[in-house]
A and B are shown apart, each in its own frame.
Chain A
Amino acid sequence: MNKIANRAMMCEVLKEAASQDRDVIVLCSDSRGSASLASFAEAYPEQFVEVGIAEQDLVSIAAGLASCGKKAFAVSPASFISTRSYEQCKVDCAYSNTNVKLVGISGGVSYGALGMTHHSAQDIAAMSAIPGMRVYLPSDRHQTRKLFEALLQDKQTAYIRLGRNPVEDVYEEGSVPFEMDKATVLSEGTDVLLVACGEMVKPSRDAAELLNGQGISAGVLDMYCVKPLDREGLLKAANGKKLVITVEEHAPFGGLGSMVAQVISANDPKRVINLALPDAPVITGTSQEVFDYYGLNAAGIADTVKKALEG
């Protein structure tokens, strides 16, 4: 089991970038520890800005820095940066067209038993609704590296959600297929297509293996780029399939499932089932317990597919 969380990989990439480029700036809101960025702050104190527990200020200050040519990475728990600072993300980052990368750490239900205040199950919907805002949920540490390396090269704002805990590798170090804003095909399949993002990619791939063992051929698409959604990749992967299943660590409205269903229904109508968290505060537990309870694990996903194909 991999022990390196995606947030720790982000820190590695940002430290490498900061060593070469004085314009790479990281901002935190008393969140350097939870963001795994304490070592960045220590190594590059001149390129680190602490704003205290003030997430609105965090995002606007980042925008001001970016308007002066800085590559600003504002890092704060996903629940706060995506909703408490929502207007600052909309106005100061997207509308004003500043190069601010908004990183939501401990996303989804990472904080487990801490409850709904600390869960970000609305962030995909909220951020995707902002014109000019891109939304990325990398699936493992290797893809996180590729994504941050790509984001360092562009000048547009984006929201990136990372989980808190180390997740099992989806890709192998040294051979990570990655193209910016293109979904990654993990397996082809002929009967059903599983589309997932973030931490739901690994259980989706495991579900596909379970299904393949039972005579159901499942393709898996890692849609780390929720916005801009890779429409072309999605339609190509969905072509000929009987069923499309989306899997996400998000509320059932306005997330990956909604966006995939929009594209499928308009271009290649077929049944789309959206697996997500409920429209309610989630049950208390660790994130894995929460996933298991709501069927967001390999067995649950496989079970949904079998029932749908039988029905």
Chain B
Amino acid sequence: MNALALKAYDLRRDVLDIIVNGGGGHIGGDMSSMEIMLALYSRMNVDPSRPDDPDRDRFVLSKGHCVETLYAVLADKGFLDIGEVKARFSRFGSEYIGHPHNTLPGIEMNSGSLGHGLSVCVGMALAGKMDKRNYRVYTLMGDGELAEGSIWEALMAAGHYKLDNLCAVVDRNHLQISGNTEDVMGHHDLHARFAAFDWHVIDVADGNDVDQLNAAFDEAEQTRGQPTIIIANTVKGKGSTLMENKASWHHHLPNAEEYAAIRKELLERKEALLHE
């Protein structure tokens, strides 16, 4: 069993604690995007002792509301102290606010307003090309977020400039706050849409499977002359039957009973993985 797959369940418990202690958070998307961020940070060239290294890989969390998972992953990488995050998230005067903020180590850009991350990453990737540096640039977007027009401006630009140092990931959990993405604003054939913008498109059947994600990231790294976009088919609320595939858990705050049930199931699922 991939150690990251097990770690994903440990960090999900961190996310649960962060949200419950802070009194709110976007738990559904946090849970769907856990393996994506974890797999990314396990391969990215980032080092908390050299946060300004010009050759570091860049990551921008375009779906900034899933900051709780980013905090958990950054803490795991040594950028943040998870105890501090849990104790201070969303509290008065806290630096751990409900969206990414680049005064914190390991966070490149402020996000939270949807549809900005990919455009910013186009700029970072262009800078890498100009400076002949080998770093890679990653962003994670939500599928509901794809209705933002600015994303399609960025898709156009990245394709036009053949930014093969850029890799975007879509957390394709099929749900947004008002319901199913296809009912709110249909994406139809996302693969074809991205391909039409000159991107190399990879479909990941199970975007909560670390091995499948790693294979996709490997393929992205090997791709030349085109940016890559990974459509990671995930489960919103992944890790607990209470939350899975339920739009109402987009930012539901678990009560004490729900907290206990989710925590228990997260532990059980990790145990089950151990015995696979």
B113 contacts the other chain (CB 8 A): yes
- Contacting pair B126 A56 (CB below 8 A): no
Residue ID in chain A nearest B129 by CB atoms = A46
- Residue with the greatest number of chain A CB neighbours at <10 A, chosen from B121, B128, B150: B150
The smallest C-beta distance from A70 to any residue of chain B, in angstroms, reads 6
Docked complex Cα distance between A66 and B54 (Å): 12
The DSSP consensus for interface residues of chain B is helix
Instruction: Report A49-67 residues with CB < 8 Å from chain B CB.
Output: 49, 51-52, 54, 56-57, 60-67
- A-B CB contact pairs (8 Å), 25 listed: A52-B160, A54-B157, A57-B119, A57-B153, A57-B156, A60-B116, A60-B119, A60-B123, A60-B150, A61-B122, A64-B120, A64-B127, A65-B124, A65-B127, A67-B58, A67-B109, A67-B124, A69-B54, A70-B130, A87-B113, A91-B112, A91-B116, A92-B116, A92-B120, A98-B109
**Interface Cβ pair total, 8 Å cutoff:** 99
CB-CB under 8 A from A57, the residues of chain B are 119, 122, 150, 153-154, 156-157
Docked complex Cα distance between A98 and B108 (Å): 10
- Contacting pair A56 B120 (CB below 8 A): no
Contact with B along A97-138 (1 / 0, CB 8 A): 110000000000000000000000000000000000000000
A266 contacts the other chain (CB 8 A): no
Known: A57-B153, A60-B150. A67 touches B120 (CB 8 A): yes
CB-CB under 8 A from A91, the residues of chain B are 110-113, 116
**B residues within 8 Å of A by Cβ?**
54, 58, 102, 108-113, 115-116, 119-128, 130-131, 149-150, 153-154, 156-157, 160
Known: A57-B150, A69-B127, A70-B127. A64 touches B156 (CB 8 A): no
- Contacting pair A49 B111 (CB below 8 A): no
Residue ID in chain A nearest B149 by CB atoms = A56
CB-CB under 8 A from B108, the residues of chain A are 67
Chain A residues with a Cβ closer than 8 Å to the other chain, count:
30
- Contacting pair B119 A68 (CB below 8 A): no
CB-CB under 8 A from A56, the residues of chain B are 115, 119, 149-150, 153
**A residues within 8 Å of B by Cβ?**
22, 25, 46-47, 49, 51-52, 54, 56-57, 60-70, 72, 87-88, 91-92, 95-98
Docked complex Cα distance between A25 and B130 (Å): 10
- Contacting pair B126 A46 (CB below 8 A): no
- Known contacts A61-B154, A68-B54, A96-B102, then 7 further A-B pairs from the complex at CB < 8 Å, ordered by chain A residue: A25-B130, A63-B123, A69-B54, A70-B130, A92-B119, A96-B109, A97-B102
CB-CB under 8 A from B116, the residues of chain A are 60, 87-88, 91-92
- Contacting pair B157 A62 (CB below 8 A): no
- Contacting pair A66 B110 (CB below 8 A): no
- Contacting pair B130 A46 (CB below 8 A): yes
The smallest C-beta distance from B270 to any residue of chain A, in angstroms, reads 36
CB-CB under 8 A from A66, the residues of chain B are 123
CB-CB under 8 A from A72, the residues of chain B are 123
Docked complex Cα distance between A81 and B215 (Å): 40
The smallest C-beta distance from A33 to any residue of chain B, in angstroms, reads 20
CB-CB under 8 A from A96, the residues of chain B are 102, 109-110
The smallest C-beta distance from A85 to any residue of chain B, in angstroms, reads 9
Docked complex Cα distance between A64 and B125 (Å): 8
Residue ID in chain A nearest B60 by CB atoms = A64
- Contacting pair B127 A63 (CB below 8 A): no
The smallest C-beta distance from B149 to any residue of chain A, in angstroms, reads 8
